Amino acid sequence: MAENKPIVIVGGGISGLTAAVEAAEAGCDVVIIEKSPYLGGRVAQLNKYFWKLCPPTCGLEMQFKRIKNSTNIKFYTLAEVTDIKGQEGNFDITVKVNPRYINDKCVSCDACAQACPAYRKNEFNFGMDETKAAYLPFNQAFPALYVIDKNACHPDCDECKRACKYDAVELDMKPEIINIKAGAVIMAMGWNPYDANKMDNLGFGKIKNAITNMMMERLSAPNGPTGGKIIRPSDDKEVKSIAFVQCAGSRDENHLSFCSYVCCLASIKQAMYVREQYPDSKAEIFYIDLRTPGLYEHRFLTKAQSDPNIAFTKGKVAGICEDPESGDVILEVEDIFKGTKVKTRFDMVVLATGMEPATKNDRSVKDVAYTPDGFVDTSAKKGIYAIGTLRNPVDVIRSTQEATGAVIKGIQSLRRQ
Amino acid sequence: MEKKYGVYICKGCSIGESVNIDKLSQIATKGMGIPLCKSHDVLCSPEGINLIKEDIQKEGVNAIAIAACSPRVKFEEFDFPGTITERANIREFVAWTQEPNTEETQSLAEDYLTMHITKLKKGDMPEPNILENLSSTILVVGGGVAGMNAALDAANAGYSVLLVEKEPQLGGFANKVYKKIPTGEYFTEPLIVDTGIENVIKSVESHPNIKVYKSSIIEKTEGQPGLFDVTISSNGSSETVRTGAVVLATGWKPYDASKLDYLGYGKKNVVTNIEFEDIAKKNNGRILRPSDGKEAKRVAFIQCAGQRDPNHLPYCSSMCCATSLKQAKYVRQDKDAVAMIFYKDIRTPGRLELYYKEAQNDPGVMLTKADVKGVSDAGNGNLYVEMENTLLGEKVKIEADMVVLAAGMVPTTRAPQEYLDGLTAAAAKGDDAKKKYIEETPKPDFILNLNYKQGPEIPSLEGAYGFADSNFICFPYETRRTGVYSAGGVKRPMDTTEAQSDAAGAVFKAIQCIDHVAKGIAVHPRTWDVTFPDPLMIRCTSCKRCTEECPFGAIDEDEKGTPFYKVNRCRRCGTCMGACPERIVSFKDYSVDIIGSMIKTIESPDEETFRILCFACENDAYPALDTAALHRKKIDPSVRFVSLRCLGGMNLVWVADALSKGIDGILLLGCKFGENYQCHFVKGSELANYRFGKVGETLNRLQLEAERVQMLQVSITDYEKLPDMINEFVEKVKELGPNPFKGM
């Protein structure tokens, strides 16, 4: 194929990466615009995928290898689209590339981080730990380049620059504006966890041992804040009894009106993390409907149900409170069948918060129709294709599937010209 | 090619502080006879790269060994097109994991450099193998929603498509459906809309790039990607056409309702969800019950009919909840009628939830969780639905005019796969059992009829109930038949919206495959790889291990039973190379001889110094080792890592040679196998483990302990514990003492 204008892919998560490597391997030129300092997006934060319980970094490694081997993929990290003009076959895209303060000479030797005196909250781990202001986003990050968080730096400090033997630190790096001509645009900005602070009754932010499902992924991951040990935030106690509150914000008109689809499978998976780590532990999942549609998905549920120490209770969690002495959490649950309320105590509770499409707040791509929930409508502008969780809450298989399919639409756009 | 060698050693990232660079350089200059050897403080810096580029330009260097960091990093810097470049990982495997400046550390770095220079010397510049008369036409099998969309997507991208449909008309199940759920905003009326299938059929049939074969089946598919010769049989006549790649979109069949008698099927007014569509369609939306043509006023829907049930379909077909909600809307077109839905869980994921909400807001739609226990006659053609554990009470009996069973999906590939699985099982019992099986078992209709030694259809995945799915979460189109991509209900239970986007993905992969074979490069996961297996057939003994073990069925056999490659089916994993006892399979840069020669260069300085050889899968174990190094984990300096494309390429001769030469222990690091295997080449690590199981013969011959060889299943996230696992193995070998063959 010899189309000369690239396909621009906004977002370098699993959907965007997949679209990029697939398009490149079909001979298209591709540019990825990624907001964060690394590629991989949300899945990079996951410990394991349901239902295979395999590590996402395995597939990411493969995608990164495909990028390395493709000469026709260009990617920008710390970059955001500020404007898209034009139409199918002839888009004019303005991108702001924010400074990394580290250039490509970085060899990831860690000297800058070791020299750095300042700390920052580690948002990759949802603030559960800290990194230095000069840091590697995570240990298998791609590109393998450090970053400096200027907001966390001490004023006028240049310890990192002095420590770097490779001339890789550039503290005066400035934002750059670049213009890209594109034939088609694929929107793959992904999703954000719904803000758990918005649900007063669930006590997130006030109750120390109430965490979100995405925090649970980090807490279980070998490269997470505890090295993969599932211990509770208040006192590092091993988590031997754990509750999962399904639909925390989802299927609720005051929060997210839709079902976030992945949360049932994610909670089952996370209950398995705990059960595997502590054979004497118990998990209980409070749900409205158990949504594990499909073959492997349903089998995954059946597997969890065969474990006598994973309980499934159909019931709505009315409220969560904390026992200030022990740090335990106490859930008040309405039993749907009996119509009664029951109180149960756990070491920790995981709120299965849902997915909010990134386009709920990020409207950098204009001329595209959005639903009230912030999803990109099916009838997006010609030449612009939205994929993955921008269209509907989906899992990784469906994201990669849709990303692959979007490429042929992109190619059609290029060939119509 | 005429090679002009250059060796470049980096001193940065503490390599210079760990290793004596002058001594290391002498390995190249004196040991390996390469006079052009340079070192640089920071080889990846623009100055360092220039050093190499100048030598390429001025000295004509075209075979480059770089001793620096892992090949996983600085890949853009160390990319020199037109050269063969080898990278010895002396940063991660030496400087970052070893005590600086010890004899063993130096020896390790020297061994890596020697090994990689050896590889450079043995290897050759690969040239693509491009076959002739390739076709870029796409064959789509199945003319339902998935197949038609696949055909349109390819045709609109400029490709010729052949669409083969078994039935006399296109459309598949969509033809039987009265209305569909609107896509987009669900809460805007109307909640049921026309399928528009006629327009899709019209677009397909009138598209200049699409040729439609109706009432047709595939009699035979012969060949390989780019060169599939497909015999299509239509109304008694056959035609053979050449196509480049195939999309399998033959969809699904409803579960055999006669098995649902426990839910009343067989009684007059009990119908399946598919039959219900037919009633609505035939009567233009009016729900007239079969027994007396009376308008049904109370329709009960029983969800998961024969699903989520180990005695029937143990899975969830995922589309039936939304289908029943839609069909409840058919009922509710009559404002006096009531629809009752009895479910286990309502599964309307994502934005479909809003569709469910609409139903909940409709007072004429009653929804309750229930365990349906049976359906019985209530007189006048009416029925009782008996159930337990409902929101209405513990034991409830409800009268309905009509009952709809939400029955599930069975992939069209299930019957052929079950037949073939049965055949394999019978064949394992011997020729008589196989013969008996063939005679006595009714043969179902096959779909692709692939003329492959390994069988006529896409190999089934364990526990997939015949669905032609991929085993990979990250790579949903990777089947075990290169150039054949499945989409829609044949692949996984899915609704028509998903089937459409799935079809786009599958047909795109087909296009990509065609593009790759035209360039002579591999498809996923070794895309861009121009090497290919080039066996020295003169030494082949027709043992057929390669034919059996190739995960992708790339090797067939001629009439005499001699294997031959269909190279475009090959994914370049090297499993055949590992399987071959005659060691005849080679790639230009990867062969039994190349790896064997690398291993042979490993020297033990004295009898007391241990040497361990470790084969690591380059996809998972190798990055885990790199990450361990990033964490500065210590690994015993006796270990030499050799990365393989896949452990499936591990040839036992390496093990035998290494042991008889005095290597003290051999470790394999491969991916998890068995259920939910993670090997990107299906079962490379499993095969390596199987072959390793046969290493006993060698050990016996050499009178060595079995503990000297071990295989570990590791994942990419095992970097924390991996060094300990390796060191533990080394300790175990050290306890056994040195290999007595050392120095012989």
Interchain CB distance below 8 Å, A401 and B509: no
pLDDT at B328: 98
The residue type found at B503 is A
- Whichever domain contains B210, its CATH number is 3.50.50.60
- Whichever domain contains B73, its CATH number is 3.40.50
A55 has pLDDT over 80 = yes
A147 and A187 inside one domain: no
pLDDT at A379: 67
A107 and A151 inside one domain: yes
B235 and B262 inside one domain: no
A-chain residues near B672 (CB < 8 A): 54
A94 forms beta bridges with A83, A179
Interchain CB distance below 8 Å, B354 and A221: no
> Of B37, B9, B29, which Cα lies nearest the Cα of B21?
B9
Which residue among A303, A332, A353 closes a domain? A353
Alpha-carbon distance of B716 to B710, in angstroms, equals 19
Residue partners of B227: CB distance under 8 A and separation at least 6 = B131, B133, B134, B135, B242, B244, B568
Which residue among A173, A208, A225 closes a domain? A173
* Length, in residues, of chain A: 417
Give the closest-approach CA distance of B96 to chain A in angstroms. 10
- Whichever domain contains A126, its CATH number is 3.30.70.20
Cβ-contact B44, A107 below 8 angstroms: yes
Which residue among A139, A173, A207 closes a domain? A173
A298 and A219 inside one domain: yes
pLDDT at B183: 81
> Is residue B680 within 8 angstroms of chain A, CB to CB?
yes
Give the closest-approach CA distance of B286 to chain A in angstroms. 30
A12 and A90 inside one domain: yes
Which residue among B125, B154, B187 closes a domain? B125
A227 and A112 inside one domain: no
pLDDT at A1: 41
B110 and B205 inside one domain: no
Cβ-contact A404, B505 below 8 angstroms: yes
> Is residue B158 within 8 angstroms of chain A, CB to CB?
yes
A2 part of a folded domain: no
ipTM: 0.96
A32 and A65 inside one domain: yes
pLDDT at A295: 96
Give the count of domains, chain A.
Answer: 3
Give the closest-approach CA distance of A323 to chain B in angstroms. 33
> Is residue B92 within 8 angstroms of chain A, CB to CB?
no
Give the count of domains, chain B.
Answer: 3
Taking one residue from A and the other from B, the number of pairs with CB-CB distance under 8 angstroms is 229
B451 and B491 inside one domain: yes
pLDDT at B186: 67
B53 has pLDDT over 80 = yes
A280 and A348 inside one domain: yes
pLDDT at A3: 55
B104 and B238 inside one domain: no
B198 and B300 inside one domain: no
Interchain CB distance below 8 Å, B492 and A295: yes
Give A185-200 pLDDT, tens digit per residue.
999 999 999 999 999 9
Which residue range is the domain that position A282 belongs to?
195-353
A288 has pLDDT over 70 = yes
A-chain residues near B12 (CB < 8 A): 107, 165-166
B353 and B372 inside one domain: yes
A249 and A278 inside one domain: yes
B148 and B115 inside one domain: no
Interchain CB distance below 8 Å, B347 and A261: no
A119 part of a folded domain: yes
A157 and A187 inside one domain: no
A80 part of a folded domain: yes
> Is residue B116 within 8 angstroms of chain A, CB to CB?
no
A308 and A238 inside one domain: yes
E strand intervals along A174-309: 176-182, 184-187, 191-193, 210-212, 241-248, 282-287
B266 part of a folded domain: yes
Alpha-carbon distance of A117 to A134, in angstroms, equals 9
Phi then psi for B704, rounded to 5 degrees?
Answer: -110, 155
> Is residue B49 within 8 angstroms of chain A, CB to CB?
no
B36 part of a folded domain: yes
A-chain residues near B72 (CB < 8 A): 65, 68, 144
pLDDT at A53: 96
Per the structure block, which two tokens stand in for A326? 């022990």
A127 part of a folded domain: yes
Least confident window among A216-230, B652-666, B688-702: B688-702
Give the closest-approach CA distance of B717 to chain A in angstroms. 7
> Of B76, B4, B82, which Cα lies nearest the Cα of B44?
B76
Alpha-carbon distance of A217 to B43, in angstroms, equals 38
B223 and B261 inside one domain: no
pLDDT at A2: 37
A167 part of a folded domain: yes
- Whichever domain contains A16, its CATH number is 3.50.50.60
A40 and A155 inside one domain: no
Cβ-contact B388, B398 below 8 angstroms: no
B-chain residues near A223 (CB < 8 A): 717
B584 part of a folded domain: no
Q: How confident is the model at residue B255 (pLDDT cuts 50, 70, 90)?
A: very high
Kindly state the average pLDDT of the residues B178-191: 82
B262 and B396 inside one domain: yes
B106 and B143 inside one domain: no
Give B373-403 pLDDT, tens digit per residue.
999 999 999 999 999 988 888 899 999 999 9
A341 and A380 inside one domain: no
B215 and B292 inside one domain: no
Interchain CB distance below 8 Å, B508 and A404: yes
Cα angle: B151, vertex B157, B159; to 5 degrees: 65
* Length, in residues, of chain B: 744
Which residue range is the domain that position B121 belongs to?
1-125
Which residue among B491, B519, B547 closes a domain? B519
A165 part of a folded domain: yes
B433 part of a folded domain: no
B682 part of a folded domain: no
Cβ-contact A331, A245 below 8 angstroms: yes
Interchain CB distance below 8 Å, A402 and B503: no
Which residue among B487, B519, B551 closes a domain? B519
pLDDT at B693: 87
A-chain residues near B75 (CB < 8 A): 68
Strand pairing class (B5-10; B37-40): parallel
Give B5-44 pLDDT, tens digit per residue.
999 999 999 999 999 999 999 999 999 999 999 999 999 9
Alpha-carbon distance of B510 to B154, in angstroms, equals 9
Phi then psi for B208, rounded to 5 degrees?
Answer: -65, -25
B636 part of a folded domain: no
B468 and B456 inside one domain: yes
B312 part of a folded domain: yes
> Is residue B360 within 8 angstroms of chain A, CB to CB?
no
Kindly state the average pLDDT of the residues B542-552: 96
Q: Give chain B's mean pLDDT.
A: 96
B166 part of a folded domain: yes
> Is residue B156 within 8 angstroms of chain A, CB to CB?
yes
By Cβ distance, the residue of B467, B512, B680 closest to A295 is B467
Alpha-carbon distance of B32 to A320, in angstroms, equals 71
Give the closest-approach CA distance of A363 to chain B in angstroms. 19
Give the closest-approach CA distance of B92 to chain A in angstroms. 11
By Cβ distance, the residue of B183, B318, B504 closest to A405 is B504
> Is residue B475 within 8 angstroms of chain A, CB to CB?
yes
Peptide bond into A51 cis (omega under 30): yes
A335 part of a folded domain: yes
Give per-residue burial for A5-36: e unless 16+ CB within 10 Å, then b.
bbbbbbbbbbbbbbbbbbbbbbbbbbbbbbbb
